[in-house]
Amino acid sequence: MVNHTENADDNQVITSGYIAHDGIFAGTEFSAAADVETDAEGLDAAVGFEDFTQDAPDEEDAVAGSDPAAPSRGRIAVYSIDAKLPGEVKGATRYTFLCSLLAQAGYEVDFITSRFQHWDKEMRSKDFAVDAPYAVHLIDEPGYPKNMCPQRIWSHHIMAKNVADFFERDHAFDLVYCQIPPNDVAAAVAEAAERYRIPLVIDVNDLWPEAFRVALDVPVVSNVAFAPFYAQAKRAYSLADAIVGTSDEYASRPFKDRPNTIPKLVVYVGNDLAEFDRGVDEFALEIDRPEGELWIAYAGTLSACYDVATLIRAVAQVAEKHPEVRLKLLGDGVEREALEQVAAETGAPVDFLGYVPYGQMAAYLECSDILVNSLVKKAPQSVPTKIADYLAAGKPMVNTSPSPEFGLKVTQDGFGVNVEPEDAGLLAEALEKLIADEPERMRMGMIAREVAEEEFDRRRAYQATLKLIEDLIARGKR
């Protein structure tokens, strides 16, 4: 276990029960912002995903075999703004999982995140404590009432300043690993790493401002409004020593703005397959599935990027021929009321289950027959986090994502079918074909589970990230 505490006036550090506080609460001025969340762990923010409510790995299990008395292999700073810390229900766990793996590998790890809990939209308490094998630094920001609001942009601006202040006070790191977006925070972290000659890895978790065009795509106006975001991303990319992306599209994006002279690595957000399976084992018997019903499930945020309305309309059509069908919606979001209205108008057999614990979500997916990745035509996501959980469930997938990368994977691997987005008729046809062909569903489901085990299980896939980090520390800053 790392044993790291700070006692500066405005600083606290959480390490195995100790709490750290870094930064300054400031700012009342606001500026415009689009209504978009991050991709793998934001746009996909729902129960169990996007890592929205995905449980972090059991800390004792994650660091099994580590020797706290062994000399450190180096000190690493990991930054993410929207993390779910151990003990919390909602949030992104890609980076806390990585921290646990790094600690297990013998590194001293400092995890830097916000005092503001993005998913709950509230501040973590002053006595907030974490039992983890890494130090946790909570950086102040003003916070914001919802994902799409001007206050969010201002809050990130303050966060960028406070993160820069943190690195001014403490920059004795052998490597910095930083999530992007938010772009301005990533740029501030990148500049600090450059200033103190620390190797920097930028982990591309979403594309800002490209994703904003789902909510605001007005010729000229959007280009002007989004120009600062492009500039900030370009700055962060230009200072990186390596790029990791949650899809090939994301990992390749920085090289539009910088020479292709640094390592690039694609590591899906993925999931902890053992944790998923434990959830199934724990909750499967608690789920009441009436005999003869056929379940279609969607898990994720209910927002503008995810075309759940078309899915509801498609299920309403399917139910006319197949009254045994029910749609299970796991998750919540700003579109829920409108979607409930669509369900009422169409008479679709829909159950809005809201947020449930990750293990329970895993059990619902495993108990379902068909899983749907339903997105709008302009959706920017390529390989959302929910995909790992869908594949782990071992069920066929119907995909309406417009991403060429993921669409190709669906067909080449053979775990599902692609359907044009925003077309209820085509979606209904695809669902009906799978309902009528149980052997095909079984075949696709077996392939899905194999892909989950080989490509999406974090404990296996993240080893490539650890190797990259090891190489960069050995090489040093160039």
**Domains assigned to the chain:** 21-267+462-475 (3.40.50.2000), 273-456 (3.40.50.2000)
Report the range of poorest mean pLDDT among 16-25, 84-93, 417-426, 444-453: 16-25
Section 461-472 average pLDDT: 97
Q: With a cut of 70, say whether residue 438 has pLDDT above it.
A: yes
The CA distance from 389 to 109, in Å, is 27
Section 241-246 average pLDDT: 97
Q: Are strands 264-266 and 108-114 parallel, antiparallel or unpaired?
A: unpaired
Give the count of beta carbons closer than 10 Å to the beta carbon of residue 463: 13
| pTM > 0.95: yes or no | no
The predicted-structure confidence for 405-418, as pLDDT tens digits, reads as follows 999 999 999 999 99
The predicted-structure confidence for 260-309, as pLDDT tens digits, reads as follows 999 999 999 999 999 999 999 999 999 999 999 999 999 998 988 899 99
Burial 330-351 (b: 16+ CB within 10 A, else e): bbbbebbeebeebbeebebbbe
Q: With a cut of 70, say whether residue 56 has pLDDT above it.
A: no
**Structure token pair of residue 122:** 């509230």
The predicted-structure confidence for 209-239, as pLDDT tens digits, reads as follows 777 766 666 676 777 888 899 999 999 999 9
- Of 254, 257, 224, which Cα lies nearest the Cα of 242? 254
Residue 180, exposed/middle/buried by CB under 10 A (0-12, 13-18, 19+)? buried
CA distances from 147 to 150, 157, 181 (A): 9, 15, 14
